Structures are given as C-alpha cells and as structure tokens.
Amino acid sequence: MRPFTYERAKDAQAAVKAAAETPNAKFLAGGTNLLDLMKLEIEHPAHLIDVGRLPMAAIEDTSDGGLRIGAMATNSHLAADARVRARYPVLTQAIVAGGSGQLRNKATTGGNLLQRTRCAYFYDTTKPCNKRAPGSGCGALEGLNRNSAIFGASHACIATHPSDMAVAMAALDATVETLSPSGAARSFPVIELHRLPGETPEVETHLVPGELITAVVLPPAPQDSRGGSGQVYRKVRDRASYAAGLAAVAVAGGKIALGAVAHKPWRAAEAEAALAAGASPQEAIGRELDQAADNGRNAFKINLVRRLVPAALADAGEQGRGA
Amino acid sequence: MSSVIDWEATPNPVKENKAGNIGKPVDRYEGPLKVTGTAPYAYEVEPPSPPAYGVMVSAPIACGKITAVDTAAAEASPGVMLVWTYRNAPAQGPRPARYDFFTPSPRPALESDRIYYFGQQVALVVADTLENAQAGAALVKLSFEADDAQAVTFDDHFDEAVDPPGEKDVEIGDFEKAFAAAPVKVDDVWRTPLQNHCQMEPCATTAWWDGDQLTVHTSVQMVRFAQNSLAETLMMPHKSVRLLTRYVGGGFGGKGSFYEDLVLASLAARELTRPVKVAFTRQQMMHGTVHRPATEQRVRLGATPDGRLTAMSLMTVTHCDRRGNFTEHASNFARNLYAAPNRLTGHRLVRLDLPVASAMRAPGEASGTLSLEVAMDELAEKLGMDPVELRILNEPESDPETGKPFSIRQLVRCMREGAQLFGWDRRNPRPGQVRDGRWQVGMGMAAAIRGNFLLPAKASFTVDAEGVITVKQGMTDIGTGTYTVLAQIAAETLGVPLGDVRVEIGDSELPPAPGSGGQFGAATAGSAALDAGMNLRKAIAELAVSDPASPLSGGQADQVTFQDGVIAIANRSERLSELIRRNRPEGLTADGEVRPAADAAKWSSHTYGAHFVEVGVDTVTGEVRTRRMLGVFAAGRILNWKTARSQLTGGMIWGVASALTEGNAVDPRYGSLINQDLASYLVPVQADIGALDAIMLDEVDDKANPMGIKGVGELGISGAGAAVANAIYNACGVRVRDYPITPDKLLAALTAT
Amino acid sequence: MKTTITVNGEARALDLDPRTTLLDALREHLRLTGSKKGCDHGQCGACTVLVNGVRINSCLSLAVMHDGDQVTTIEGIGTPDRLHPMQVAFLTEDAFQCGYCTPGQICSAIGMLGEVAQNWPSQETAELTGKITLTDDELRERMSGNICRCSAYPQIVAAIKSAAGELA
C-alpha cells in the first residue's frame, strides 16, 4: 500500500468535513473492499477517515412501519435482525448469500453498497481498464468476459456490481440517506445510487466527493398483488458458497431486481410492468431480456436469467401463499 | 541387492505388527503443534536477528524482454535497502538448457532481460518492513517489449504438437483396423483445463548466513533436490547449505521444485548480512509457480455387442513451457486398466510461451481418467450394460500390455463392494428419471488406478538413555502424515510406546530421502526407516548379549525380543533404556536404506479403487451438487487408517473440483491466466461437499516394498471427477466433455437437447 | 501510529505503520504466527481471528482500526499443554493435513458456534424466523469461508460437530 494518514472520525459531521478538506481522503468502514483494493494499489487514498465506530449502526423502526438501517450496521447484524427476517426476508437471504461469515461480520451496510466490481481486468493492474485507469481501454470487452454485464454496459466498461444486498434493497424500494460536506442531508432511492458506466465507468455512484451514506431506509414490508408477501432471493454461482454470482434475482412484492448482470442492481422494470399487465413470468422476463446484450462469452447469462426469474417468482408465489 | 522375493519372504516387525502400531488410527504426531498454531512454517521461523522483508515484482508480458529499468523511485522509497533486477542481481550458476525435477541444477533468478512467461519474477525489493517493501516494489519501473509472435493458446498450435522427447506411441495389435470393424463404438474428445495447485501456504523462505554457511527455512517437497540446486545456483558447496522444510503448508506437486523466493532470500541475506524473508503473494503463486497443463484427449473404444473391448485408444495432446519438458501423461494409465487386444495410446506435446508446467496431484491419471472413465460409461449405455459389469467383463488377468503378473489387484472387489455399500442397484439406468425437489438426481461410478513407486532413500534411528527412539530423515510431510507413520514404524520396530518416539524430518543434514510426490513418500521413506529400525534392533541385541551387566548377556542376538520398551530373551529381560544408559549414554545410532528391487519390474504394481457418487442437478440453473460419495480403495497395507482415509477423501474432493469448479484459462492477447486469486480460481468450499467417505480394503502388497504398503496420496483423485460427470449424465441426460462442468456449459447442453 | 489492542487477554501497546494489517501486526510485530496468510485478500479465511468474540479476516483490517478491541488468536484458544475442546476434536477427527488453514478453521468454528448460539441465519436456513439448528448443511455453509485445499472437509465437519456437542 502507499502511505496514508489515518484518523478516527468523532462524528458524522466531522467525518464529512475532513473528507471535504483533505485531498484524496476516503471513508473507511469495515474495510473489506477498500483494503483489498489498497493492497493492489487500485485505491490509494492519502488519508483514511475511519467511520466504523460512529454511532450509526442501529436498526430502528420508522414511524410508517419501515426500518431505518444505520450505515455502520454490519451485514451480519442486518441479516440477523428479527424484523428483517420476519418482514424483509429477501434482504436477509441476499446478505447471507454474499461473502463469508467472516466478511459479513466486518462489512457494513454503507460499504456493501459502495463495493467495487470484481472484474478480473479491473483487478489485474497490468491490463487496460477504463474504470481503474480512465482512457486505457476495457480489457474485458474482447477478453474472457464470462461474468460481465448483459444490461446497461458500454464499450467503455462491461463490469457488474457484485453486491447481493443492494439487489434486495433495490427490489424493496429502499432509500439511501446521506450527509454532504455542506452539512446538508439528502435521501434518494437506492436504485439511483449507482450509475451505469457510460463513458465514465470510473464514476460509479451519484455521491459527491466527501458525501457519507448514513442510513438505508426500508419502506413498510411489501405486499404482492395477491396479498401475500412473497420474497425470494436466488443466486446462481459456480460453487455452493463464497463466490461471486453468475446471476441473482430478488423478488419482493411484485418487484424484481437482478444482480451480477449490470453495473448496478438492475430493476427489471419491463418485466414488472408486464407481470402487472398479466403476462406470464416467462413472457415478462423475456420482455426485459429484449434489452440484454452479450459480450461474446456471457450469452449464457441471458438464458440463465430467462430461466431463473420464473423459478424465483414461483418460489416467491409459494411463499406468499403460505404467509 | 533388494529383491521382491526377499521382501516377500522376510518377516519384519511391520508385517508382524505385534504391538498393533501399524494401521492404528493414531492422531498425527505433529498435530498438537498444528492445531495450536505453534508449528512454524517457512515465513514464521524465528531467525537469529530481525529479518528484512523481500517482495518480488513480476513480468506483465508473456514473451519478450525488459527494455528499460528505472529503480530510482524504489530505491529512494522509505526503508528500502536493496533493489535488484537482472542488471544488478548477483552472479549465479547458469541454468541448464533443459531441466528436470530430479537432477539438481542451478535455477538463477533475475538472470537476464528475457521474459519467458507472464508473471516471471523480474525484480526484488528488500526493506526494513513488509509494508515498505511492498510499497517499494510498486515503484519499480520496468519497460517491456513483447515479442511479435507469442504462442499461448493450446488450440492454435496443435499442428506443432510433437512426440514428447524420447517417447513413442504404444500400439498393441492393430488398433485402427479393429476399431473400424467394431460393432459398437465410442469416439469422443474431452478437454481438461490448466489447473493450479493453490496450496494454502504460498511459497516462502527465511534465510540467514553464519560466515559462509547458509541456513534456509523454506517450503518444498524435496529436500536434497532443493538444497543441492540452491547450492549450485549460489555456486557454493552443497554442504554449506542447510535447508529446512519441517512444515509445508501443502505441496501437491507444486512445491516439488523450488522458486525465486529461495534463491533471492539467500542472496539478499548474504548481501545485507542480515536475515531476509521473501514470500510469494497468492497472485504470484498463480503464474509464478508450476501448473498442471491443459489436455485434449480423444478416446476411442470398440466393443462386441456383449461388451468385450476389442479396441481401446486414448491419445492426449498437452502443452508445456518453452524451456521445459513436462508431459501430462494422461494416456499412460490406460495401458494398465482394461483388457483389449488392440490398443493405441500416446501423447503429443505443444510448447507454449506460458508459465512452467509440471506435476500436480496424480499427474496423468487425474486428467486421463476424466475421459476414459466417462467413455466407458458411454459404452455401457450403448451396450445396455451396467457400468460396473462392463468393467468387470474387461478385467485383465495380467497387465494388458506387458503381460506381467499383477503384484495384487482387487479392482473388481473395490467395484463390487462399493456398489453394494452405496446402493448402486437403486440407480435408474435411464437418465433424468429421479427428482428431489428442484434437483434431478443421478448416480455415477468410475474406476481408480494410480501407479506405485519406490525410490532409493536413507534413514537413521537413534536410541538414547531414556529409551527414546529418534527417527531422522531428510523427508517431508506436506500434510501426508509422514511424521506420524514414521513414528508408528519406529514404535513397532523397536517395541517402544509411541510416546517414546521422536521424528525429525525436513532437514538437509538428515539422511536423504527423495521427498513427497507420486504417492511414493510413505513407502519410500517408511521402507528406509524400517531398515534403519531393523539395523538398530540388531545393534541393540548385539550390545545386550555382549554386555556382562545385561541379563541377556551370553544369549543369542537373533532371539532378542522388543516389547513395551523392554528387551528380552525368554524370561531374561531389562529395559532398553537401562542397556543404553549403561553402555551408550550418548546414544546408539543405526542407519538404513531402501533401494528399488532389481526384480520389481517383473510385476505390474498399482493401487486401485472405485468411486460412487450421487449428484443433484438443478436443470433450471445448471448448478450441480454432490450429495454423497463413496470411494473403496485397495492400496496395500495401511500404516494409519485415519490419515490414509484423509488422504483418500482429500483426493476425492480434488476429483470433484476437477469435474465441477476448478480450472484456469489463458487470455490469448496477453498470455496471462484469467484467474489470479482464490476468489476467481474456484477450489471447493465446505458447502460443495456432501457426505463423503473412503474405505480401504484389507490388503497387503508384499511385492511393493518390505512393508507391503503402497501410497494413497493420489489414488483418491483418479477417477473421482469422471464418477461425478457420469452421475450428472444419469441425473439429466447430458454430457459435458469440457471440464469443469460449470453451470453455463451444462445449461448450454441442456437447452440444446 | 500508536494503538493498544488486547491480544489473548494481554494489553499490547503498539506503534505501527498505519498500513499494517491486523494479521501482520499479529504475525510480524507480536510474533504470534499462528494466524496464517493464505491470500491476504479475504478470500481464504486462513487469517481468521476473533475480535470481541466475532470472527473476521484479519488480513482485511488495519491494526489501527482495533484500538481498544479484544483480539483472540489461535494462541489464545489453547496450547499443546492445554488444548481447547475444538483443538482436541480436530486432532481426534484428523481435521487437518498440512495444517496451514487449521488455526483459521478453529477460530472460525468457535466464532461460528457463537453465531449459531445467537440464532444468526445462513444461506442454508430455510425457516428464517425460527430457531437455528446446526444441521450438517448449516455447518458446511457457515464454514465455507475457510478454504482447505488438503480438502479435510468431511473431517472438519466431524470435528466441529463433536466439539459443539462438548461445548454445548
């Protein structure tokens, strides 16, 4: 790693102030993604602001029956929370499908949202990567891109967002709350947090420099159109655990979000609309996949999603009926 | 002169096993150290003074040269003490044109501006702390020029494939004619990928000098080979190098050689006159250490309608690196497995500008059984025969190519017992008939075979005044259980409690043994140990009968018994420790050795087994899970049922990995491997493995070595992956012949039908 | 940068390069080499230690992040003269071969049992709102963050089950 200075933030205001005032500063929460990248010098902040011990780990009921999740709540605590398990099981299922027990114990809600791609060409610093080194090209485009995006990619970047948790949050219509260096707080849907790569894949979110995620808010638990609350998370991967997904789907109250298929969690809006209009699951996902494009080695993902989503909807439907 | 006839005819304490140490499932000798984290691996050994830390820099091109070197920033970086490239690395012994893994020879590091493979080590930075060394290494600026032409893809260079040096195809009868005429045929091609060993412990060395004496703690499988090669690299006498490798965090063939950490740590320690330690990063392990090369295998089987093989062929194309010679002999085992009058096996080798290819667990069988054992399954289906019965029908009475008698072969029994224990008769021979929720369930089986080898080795045994026996051997324990079985052999041979045995291995100052590999370790090291033990018994007996103060005085030396630490002739006895205390308080030592028998070549000697596995296939997603798996093995006398079982189940899981998850691939634009860490190169995790067990038949192979044991380290992997592939077919009716059988490939096959 | 971490019950005052990972602080500075570096990127679990009773990958944490924390390493779990029941079970069941992943397996298993005791769910948990039972499938899933290339997986399962019974 390159040398850096380190401070432990006193409070959230001090953290964002320090981030705004210190050149090349980054927030450090669990560190399970940032430190991974710093060891490879893909990230090289000059200053780390440790926000991991800020009193932002609580998970609280909101007045409308939802849940406010502090950004510093660990993945394990969030997944284990009794309210999440009872009312938002898709979120628990998504979290426990990611990483390992050890990683989930350290990773935070905010950090999980902001984790970066696992694309092999991003990680290999000898290869061209517009995300890591803007303008250098995309090593994956003509490469071994088996696990690249099928939605929303560009010729500049075909990487996927690896989070499972974010996919469930997208399906649950979660909201992200942040604190800006100006001192202002804002909130916006989680689905608007991440960007598609476009021409600037190095810009991964809509956060401004120094903006700190403080909480994720879940609306009241979803009901699907049949009055059940069918939620399901299914992740397909090359081994049974501790591996990136080839494709994942979160279903919650008629909402469908896909993971490992795009630069951000992919709300399958076309499929949702088709379902709401009475289409079969197969027709619905087919509609969504009309926008899908492969990169030479990942066409199987299109087929996989086509099969996975109806199966997940069926699982969710069964769960809903049983509720 | 060793002779098999002698081995068979001569009783010895291991065969007699009076105290019952042989076979006993005792806990590992070094177990308490390993479970408490107190066994020091190479990077953890405490040097005589605080070490400096070395970090290597690796080449980002596959084939070409270094054109510019700028180390100014690295040298100026905080804490950096030394920056070497080919320009200023110390002179070393010259590398021979071709090298093998048994003849010590120099392996200079940073030797020239020439790049031979992606990931080759091209610089060393040494600093006062690890963090400073890592940061310094990142500041080394090297420019490279890639050659216009580089050959990195197997497929594109098949036409350049040649016979491996010194080898020719082996043909018996007239294969082409018999195959053409065969009423029932199988003719298919399988591909196995490049594989990496992924030992949990990356290669590492701690080195320090005392005058002109070098001590290195490293992680290698072959002590003498590494010691002598290091000495020749450093252009110093062999005996001035002491190499220790007491605890090795996994080898699997990948540490059969040694790497730049050993050479560079030694050189840097000499330069800086302080201890230096160097470790590979996990990423550097993937390119910078050896790998199992990919293969393409064509199997052709011709049979009569009643299932007799008339023609059998397995032809393998594989690759190795430019300067290397290694051939993944996937076709070899086919020469010993089934009877067929017309046979053709052979290999072709393509040289590529890739990292170094070498042995990885069960080289040959691990790859070759993935094709032939599936082809047999295909043949069984075409014939409407049970796969077990097909194999039994084609069981040879003697070696099918050489005609030599088998030393012992119980393959049929392995298959029959395995079938019975596993419930094989519950299998529905028609694919795709059994469902369990989201899973389609199937069963598959395959045969296992692996060669049995014995190499020359030495050992010494010492008894001290406490009656403690110390075994000394320059052997290694790479997780194989060497420490433990040597202790058991010593306890049984000298008639002392296991707690009174000490084992010292992994040290070049100890009597040499060839090391761990080819599942020859226990047999080779153990046979030498037995000989040393027998010689110590003789020496003790002679001492006792000629010691007037001993109750055994005047007796006949060959009548002395050894039991519970007591030596006796009839009812005259005394404690062994007493005899030694009186006569040799400094200890009494005897040496021993084993040599391969001159007449061993008269027999065909292998280990055998049979795998049975049940899988679930999710036909929606293409995911596969192994639900239960059983291996039944015949591997001679078992020294320790507990550790042997672990070796076998470990091998079986490697087979599952080969079938389902494991493999690497080359990006042809760069000649680099796409999977460069443990997140992308997928070895099985705990959740991938369902109920899995291994059973060993009670067997002795007196022709193998004086103890009648054989190896088990590699047998488990042979055939295991094929059994999984066959189970997948039984579950869902498709075959994927391009390993590993990942969800995308299985889905493509499922949706194509 | 100064930091004080209680390691195996003993407060250790350290002055470290902030880049020093918790793993390297333990191995290189405190010479507690029981925790292992298998990949240094959180991909294998060989570096697993317990921080305030919770298992983490010590390679993906900075030592300075742990000021005031209680860290338990394999050295604090047991010694050859005083083995923890989990260590005894690993010995008895032969739940290791080369031994390099073993300290991480043991620390992880102890942490994992704590998680089960707190009723935390895993990917294997079908009934999320119920009480977790440590079935074989649950155990395997929860231990999947510890890679063993020697593939002692069946033996590790047997050892943890045996020790879990002991420790219950």
| Residue A176, in any domain of the structure | yes
Select from B628, B580, B634 the least CA-distant residue to B727. Answer: B628
- Supply B691's token pair: 């109920």
Collect all residues of chain C within an 8 Å Cβ-Cβ radius of residue B692.
153-154
Whether A317 shows a pLDDT value over 90: the answer reads: no
Quick one: pLDDT at residue B2? 81
Both A99 and A187 in one domain: the answer is yes
Place of tokens 């485009």: A141
Could you report the per-residue pLDDT of A15-65, keeping only the tens digit for each? 999 999 999 999 999 999 999 999 999 999 999 999 999 999 999 999 999
Write down which chains contact chain C via at least 3 CB pairs under 8 A: A, B
Number of neighbouring beta carbons within 10 Å of residue B145: 13
B98 band by pLDDT with thresholds 50, 70 and 90: confident
B103 band by pLDDT with thresholds 50, 70 and 90: confident
The CATH number linked to A26 is 3.30.43
Residue B658 main-chain phi, psi, to 5 deg: -60, -35
- Best mutation target, C97, C101, C142, C144, to test chain B (most B CBs within 10 A): C97
User: Which residues does B565 contact at the CB level (< 8 Å), separation at least 6?
Assistant: B467, B495, B496, B497, B500, B575, B576, B577
The beta-strand segments (E) located in B62-169 are 64-70, 80-84, 114-115, 121-127, 141-146
Say yes or no: B72 contacts chain A, CB-CB below 8 A. no
Select from B337, B307, B339 the least CA-distant residue to B184. Answer: B307
Quote the CA–CA distance of B283 and B119 in Å, as a whole number. Answer: 9
Q: Pick the last residue of a domain from A15, A33, A50.
A: A50
| Residue A177, in any domain of the structure | yes
B289 band by pLDDT with thresholds 50, 70 and 90: very high
Q: With an 8 Å Cβ cutoff, are C142 and A85 in contact?
A: no
Which domain range does residue A314 map to? 57-318
The predicted model gives B177-202 an average pLDDT of: 98
Whether A323 shows a pLDDT value over 50: the answer reads: no
For helices B641-660 and B720-732, what crossing angle results, to 10°? 50
Q: With an 8 Å Cβ cutoff, are C145 and A103 in contact?
A: yes
Whether A227 shows a pLDDT value over 70: the answer reads: no
Q: Active-site residue B714, yes or no?
A: yes
Say yes or no: B665 contacts chain C, CB-CB below 8 A. no
Quote the CA–CA distance of B124 and B277 in Å, as a whole number. Answer: 11
Number of neighbouring beta carbons within 10 Å of residue B584: 17
Q: With an 8 Å Cβ cutoff, are B281 and C40 in contact?
A: yes
Contact C21, C58 (CB under 8 A): yes
Please write down the HEC assignment for all residues of B670-734.
CCEECCCCCCCCCCCCHHHEEEEEEEECCCCCCCCCCCCECCCCCHHHCCHHHHHHHHHHHHHCC
A226 band by pLDDT with thresholds 50, 70 and 90: low
| Residue A61, in any domain of the structure | yes
| Residue A216, in any domain of the structure | yes
Say yes or no: A63 contacts chain B, CB-CB below 8 A. no
**Smallest Cα distance from B712 to chain C, Å:** 13
Both A42 and A64 in one domain: the answer is no
Q: With an 8 Å Cβ cutoff, are B747 and A300 in contact?
A: yes
Count the domains in chain A.
2
Both A176 and A244 in one domain: the answer is yes
Both A237 and A93 in one domain: the answer is yes
Whether B39 shows a pLDDT value over 90: the answer reads: yes
Say yes or no: A243 contacts chain B, CB-CB below 8 A. yes
Mean pLDDT of chain A: 95
For helices A269-276 and A281-289, what crossing angle results, to 10°? 150
The predicted model gives A1-10 an average pLDDT of: 97
The CATH number linked to A310 is 3.30.465.10
| Residue A105, in any domain of the structure | yes
The predicted model gives B544-573 an average pLDDT of: 96
Quote the CA–CA distance of B55 and B278 in Å, as a whole number. Answer: 6
Whether B671 shows a pLDDT value over 60: the answer reads: yes
The predicted model gives C4-9 an average pLDDT of: 98
Quick one: pLDDT at residue A319? 63
Could you report the per-residue pLDDT of B9-33, keeping only the tens digit for each? 999 999 999 999 999 999 999 999 9
Both A46 and A80 in one domain: the answer is no
Please write down the HEC assignment for all residues of chain A.
CCCCEEEECCCHHHHHHHHHHCCCEEEECCCCCHHHHHHCCCCCCCEEEECCCCCCCCEEECCCCCEEEECCCEHHHHHHCHHHHHHCHHHHHHHHCCCCHHHHHHCEHHHHHHCCCCCHHHHCCCCCECCCCCCCCECCCCCCCCCCCCCCCECCECCCCCCCHHHHHHHCCCEEEEECCCCCEEEEEHHHCECCCCCCCCCCECCCCCCEEEEEEECCCCCCCCCCCCEEEEEEECCCCCCCEEEEEEEECCEEEEECCCCCCEECHHHHHHHHCCCCHHHHHHHHHCCCCCCCCCHHHHHHHHHHHHHHHHHHHHHHHHC
Both A68 and A38 in one domain: the answer is no
| Residue A145, in any domain of the structure | yes
Chain B, residues 367-406, CB within 8 A of chain C, namely none
Both A154 and A37 in one domain: the answer is no
- Best mutation target, A47, A49, A102, to test chain C (most C CBs within 10 A): A102
Q: With an 8 Å Cβ cutoff, are A100 and C145 in contact?
A: yes
Q: Report percent pLDDT > 90 for chain A.
A: 94
Quote the CA–CA distance of C59 and C56 in Å, as a whole number. Answer: 9
Mean pLDDT of chain B: 96
Mapped onto helix, strand or coil, the DSSP state of residue B153 is: coil
Both A128 and A206 in one domain: the answer is yes
Quote the CA–CA distance of B330 and B310 in Å, as a whole number. Answer: 21
Both A130 and A14 in one domain: the answer is no
The predicted model gives B401-421 an average pLDDT of: 97
User: Which residues does A309 contact at the CB level (< 8 Å), separation at least 6?
Assistant: A249, A256, A258, A268, A271, A281, A284, A285, A288
User: Which residues does B211 contact at the CB level (< 8 Å), separation at least 6?
Assistant: none
The predicted model gives A81-110 an average pLDDT of: 98
Domains of chain C: 2-77 (3.10.20.30), 85-167 (1.10.150.120)
Q: Report percent pLDDT > 90 for chain B.
A: 92
Collect all residues of chain B within an 8 Å Cβ-Cβ radius of residue A127.
670, 672
| Residue A67, in any domain of the structure | yes
- Supply B627's token pair: 């639900």
Collect all residues of chain B within an 8 Å Cβ-Cβ radius of residue A144.
665, 667, 674
For helices B641-660 and C153-167, what crossing angle results, to 10°? 120
Q: Residue A273 carries which side chain, given as an amino acid letter?
A: A
- Best mutation target, B674, B686, B732, to test chain A (most A CBs within 10 A): B674
- Supply B476's token pair: 């290694």
Whether C44 shows a pLDDT value over 50: the answer reads: yes
- Supply B61's token pair: 């091109």
Both A12 and A75 in one domain: the answer is no
Q: Report percent pLDDT > 70 for chain A.
A: 96
**Smallest Cα distance from A290 to chain C, Å:** 31
Contact B469, B500 (CB under 8 A): yes
Both A29 and A75 in one domain: the answer is no
Say yes or no: B680 contacts chain A, CB-CB below 8 A. yes
Q: With an 8 Å Cβ cutoff, are C101 and B678 in contact?
A: no
Q: Which residues share a beta bridge with A233?
A: A250
DSSP H helical ranges for B278-410: 282-288, 334-337, 365-383, 387-393
The predicted model gives B78-103 an average pLDDT of: 91
Say yes or no: B690 contacts chain A, CB-CB below 8 A. no
Please write down the HEC assignment for all residues of A199-225.
CCCCCCECCCCCCEEEEEEECCCCCCC
Both A35 and A64 in one domain: the answer is no
Q: Using CB atoms, which residue from C99, C102, C140 is nearest to B686?
A: C140
Distance of CA B579 to the CA centre of its chain: 42
| Residue A323, in any domain of the structure | no
Q: ipTM of this complex > 0.90?
A: yes
Could you report the per-residue pLDDT of B489-538, keeping only the tens digit for each? 999 999 999 999 999 999 999 999 888 888 888 889 999 999 999 999 99
Q: With an 8 Å Cβ cutoff, are A103 and C41 in contact?
A: no
Select from B692, B745, B743 the least CA-distant residue to B720. Answer: B692
- Supply B295's token pair: 């293969």
User: Which residues does B739 contact at the CB level (< 8 Å), separation at least 6?
Assistant: B190, B191, B192, B193, B370, B658, B659, B663, B721, B725
